[in-house]
Amino acid sequence: MNFGISTMPLEDYQLKSKLPLLEEAGIRYIEVKPKEGHFNYYDPKYLDEMSKE
């Protein structure tokens, strides 16, 4: 079974800065909270960069 986590508890932080922590914890699947400052879903360049993380 594969488990994931929502990024809602981390919504007050930039998601990119917290990805290493999630990876360290062995979390491979995330549900991203779309909130400016946390995950800039309006910026195509940012979305492209994040898709490679």
pLDDT of residue 24: 93
Cβ-count burial 8-33 (b if 16+ within 10 Å, e if not): eebeeeebeeebeebeeeeeeeeeee
What is the per-residue pLDDT for 21?
Answer: 92
Domain count for the chain, please give it.
1
Q: Where are the alpha helices (DSSP H) in 1-53?
A: 15-24, 44-51
Q: Identify the domain containing residue 15 by its residue range.
A: 4-51
Q: What is the pLDDT of residue 2?
A: 82
Asked if 39 and 50 count as a contact pair (C-beta separation under 8 A), the reply is yes
Per-residue confidence (pLDDT) for residue 3, from 0 to 100: 83
Q: Which two tokens stand for residue 39?
A: 């995950």
CA-to-CA dists, residue 33 to 1, 19, 42, angstroms = 23, 13, 13
How confident is the model at residue 1, as a pLDDT? Answer: 78
pLDDT one-digit tens code per residue, 1-53? 788 999 999 999 999 999 999 999 999 999 999 898 899 889 999 999 988 87
pLDDT at 52: 85
